[in-house]
Structure 1
Amino acid sequence: MAWIGVDLGTQSVRAVLVEATGEVLARAARPLTSRRGEVWHEQDPQEWITAVEQVLAEVASFGEVEGLAICSTSGTVLLTDLDGRPVSPALMYDDARAANFLPRIVAADPDRWGSAMQPTWALPKILWLDPAEDQLVAHSADVVAADLAGHPVATDTSHALKTGYDLVDVGERGSDAPGADGAAAPGGWPASAFERLGLPGHLLPQVVLPGTLIGTVSVAKAQVTGVPAGTPIVAGMTDGCAAQIAAGALTPGAWNSVLGTTLVLKGVTKDLITDPTGAVYSHRHPDGDGWLPGGASNTGAGALTTMLPGADLDALDRAATQLAGPVGATIYPLTKPGERFPFVAPEAAGFELGDVPDDLHRYVGVLQGVAFIERLAFEHLTKLGAEAPRSVALTGGAVRSEHWNQLRADVLGVPVELPEAADPAYGMAVLAASGGTSVAETARRMVRIGRVIEPRPSDRLTDLYGGFVAELDRRGYLR
Structure 2
Amino acid sequence: MALGWLGIDLGTQGVRALFVTADGSVLGSGAAPLGRGRREGVRHVQDPGEWWEAVCAACRRARDGVRMGVGGLAVCGTSGTVLLTDDTGRPMSPALMYDDRRAAAEAGRLRSAGLAVQDTWALPKVRWLVDRYGSGRVAHQPDLVNARLVGRTVPADSSHALKTAYDVERERWPDITGLPEGVLPDVVRPGTRLGEVCAAAAEATGIPAGTPVIAGMTDGCAAQIASGALRKGAWNAVLGTTLVLKGAAAEPVRDPTGVLYNHRAPDGTWLPGGASSVGAGVLNARFPGADPATLDARAAAFEPSNAVAYPLVSPGERFPFHAPRATALLLGAPESDADLWAALLQGVAFTERLCLDYLHHLGARLDGPLAFTGGAARSTYWTQLRADILGRRARVPEQTQPALGMAALAAYGTGTDPTLAAAAERMVRLGTTVDPRPDRTARFMEGYARLVGELESRGWLPGAVAAHARARIDRDTSGA
Q: Normalization by structure 1: what TM-score?
A: 0.89
The letter for the 2-side match of 1:16 is L
Residues 76, 310 of structure 1: alpha-carbon distance in 2 compared, 3 angstrom cutoff: closer
In structure 1, C-alpha distance between the alignment counterparts of 2:298 and 2:10, rounded to whole Å? 35
Matched, 1:157 2:158: yes
Residues 12, 59 of structure 1: alpha-carbon distance in 2 compared, 3 angstrom cutoff: same
Secondary structure of 1:203's match?
Answer: coil
Figure out how many residues of one structure are paired with residues of the other and give that number: 451
Secondary structure of 1:193's match?
Answer: coil
In structure 2, C-alpha distance between the alignment counterparts of 1:237 and 1:403, rounded to whole Å? 30
Q: Compare 448-457 and 49-58 and name the one that shifted more.
A: 49-58
Give the C-alpha shift of residue 296 in structure 1.
Answer: 1.5
In structure 1, C-alpha distance between the alignment counterparts of 2:296 and 2:168, rounded to whole Å? 43
In structure 2, C-alpha distance between the alignment counterparts of 1:477 and 1:95, rounded to whole Å? 20
Report the equivalent of 1:183.
Answer: none
Report the equivalent of 1:260.
Answer: 240
Give the C-alpha shift of residue 451 in structure 1.
Answer: 0.3
Matched, 1:31 2:33: yes
Secondary structure of 1:292's match?
Answer: strand
Matched, 1:117 2:100: no
Secondary structure of 2:438's match?
Answer: coil
Residues 457, 354 of structure 1: alpha-carbon distance in 2 compared, 3 angstrom cutoff: farther
Q: 1:141-198 deviations in whole A, cap 9, x for unaligned?
A: 11111111111111111010011101112xxxxxxxxxxxxxxxxx1011x313xx14
In structure 2, C-alpha distance between the alignment counterparts of 1:329 and 1:297, rounded to whole Å? 21
Q: 1:233-262 deviations in whole A, cap 9, x for unaligned?
A: 010011111111111111122211111222
In structure 2, C-alpha distance between the alignment counterparts of 1:79 and 1:302, rounded to whole Å? 28
Give the C-alpha shift of residue 432 in structure 1.
Answer: 0.3
In structure 1, C-alpha distance between the alignment counterparts of 2:365 and 2:86, rounded to whole Å? 44
In structure 1, C-alpha distance between the alignment counterparts of 2:453 and 2:247, rounded to whole Å? 26
Unaligned runs of 5+ in 2: 463-480
Residues 85, 350 of structure 1: alpha-carbon distance in 2 compared, 3 angstrom cutoff: closer
In structure 2, C-alpha distance between the alignment counterparts of 1:452 and 1:418, rounded to whole Å? 6
Secondary structure of 1:56's match?
Answer: helix
Report the equivalent of 2:274.
Answer: 295
- Return the match for 1:231 from 197, 202, 211: 211
Report the equivalent of 2:147.
Answer: 146
Give the C-alpha shift of residue 7 in structure 1.
Answer: 1.1
Report the equivalent of 1:167.
Answer: 168
Secondary structure of 2:76's match?
Answer: strand
Residues 46, 252 of structure 1: alpha-carbon distance in 2 compared, 3 angstrom cutoff: same
In structure 2, C-alpha distance between the alignment counterparts of 1:217 and 1:50, rounded to whole Å? 16
Report the equivalent of 2:91.
Answer: 86
- Return the match for 2:452 from 469, 473, 477: 469
Residues 265, 402 of structure 1: alpha-carbon distance in 2 compared, 3 angstrom cutoff: same
Q: 1:265-285 deviations in whole A, cap 9, x for unaligned?
A: 111111111212322111112
The alignment yields a C-alpha RMSD, in angstroms, of: 2.1
Give the C-alpha shift of residue 232 in structure 1.
Answer: 0.5
Q: Compare 329-338 and 402-411 and name the one that shifted more.
A: 329-338
The letter for the 2-side match of 1:428 is M
Secondary structure of 1:17's match?
Answer: strand
Identical counterparts, % of pairs: 53
- Return the match for 2:183 from 180, 184, 203: 203
In structure 2, C-alpha distance between the alignment counterparts of 1:133 and 1:464, rounded to whole Å? 50
Question: Quick check: 1:13–1:52 contact (8 Å CA) kept in 2?
Answer: yes
Unaligned runs of 5+ in 1: 170-186
Question: Quick check: 1:69–1:234 contact (8 Å CA) kept in 2?
Answer: yes
The letter for the 1-side match of 2:451 is F
Give the C-alpha shift of residue 414 in structure 1.
Answer: 1.4
Question: Quick check: 1:85–1:147 contact (8 Å CA) kept in 2?
Answer: no
In structure 1, C-alpha distance between the alignment counterparts of 2:135 and 2:195, rounded to whole Å? 22
Report the equivalent of 2:296.
Answer: 317
- Return the match for 1:397 from 375, 378, 395: 375
Question: Quick check: 1:320–1:403 contact (8 Å CA) kept in 2?
Answer: no
Residues 390, 412 of structure 1: alpha-carbon distance in 2 compared, 3 angstrom cutoff: farther
The letter for the 1-side match of 2:148 is D
Q: Normalization by structure 2: what TM-score?
A: 0.89
In structure 2, C-alpha distance between the alignment counterparts of 1:407 and 1:227, rounded to whole Å? 41
Question: Quick check: 2:30–2:60 contact (8 Å CA) kept in 1?
Answer: no
Report the equivalent of 1:216.
Answer: 196
Question: Quick check: 1:389–1:414 contact (8 Å CA) kept in 2?
Answer: no
Residues 360, 54 of structure 1: alpha-carbon distance in 2 compared, 3 angstrom cutoff: closer
Residues 325, 148 of structure 1: alpha-carbon distance in 2 compared, 3 angstrom cutoff: closer
The letter for the 2-side match of 1:427 is G
In structure 2, C-alpha distance between the alignment counterparts of 1:464 and 1:81, rounded to whole Å? 51
Matched, 1:413 2:415: no
